Amino acid sequence: MSTTHLVAVTGQKLGSVGRHLRVLLDAGLVERRRAGRSVLYVRTAAGEVLVEASQTR
């Protein structure tokens, strides 16, 4: 998702979403990909494992 899409989905402010994305990037749970003029954030394999684990609880 793009930062703009994440802001719309979460209802959080842009700065807050940006700070959360920085933490996730630093932890290796998401990565950035450029798509034209947009920057998209995609879960890494480690991020997917954590999401799946949280859904099986």
Q: What is the CATH number of the domain that holds 25?
A: 1.10.10.10
pLDDT along the chain (57 residues), means of 10: 95 96 97 94 96 87
How many Cβ atoms are within 10 Å of 18's Cβ, its own excluded? Answer: 13
Q: What is the pTM of this model?
A: 0.85
Structure-token pair, residue 13: 């402010």
3-state secondary structure of 2: strand
By residue range, what is the domain housing residue 22? 3-55
Q: Tally the domains of the chain.
A: 1
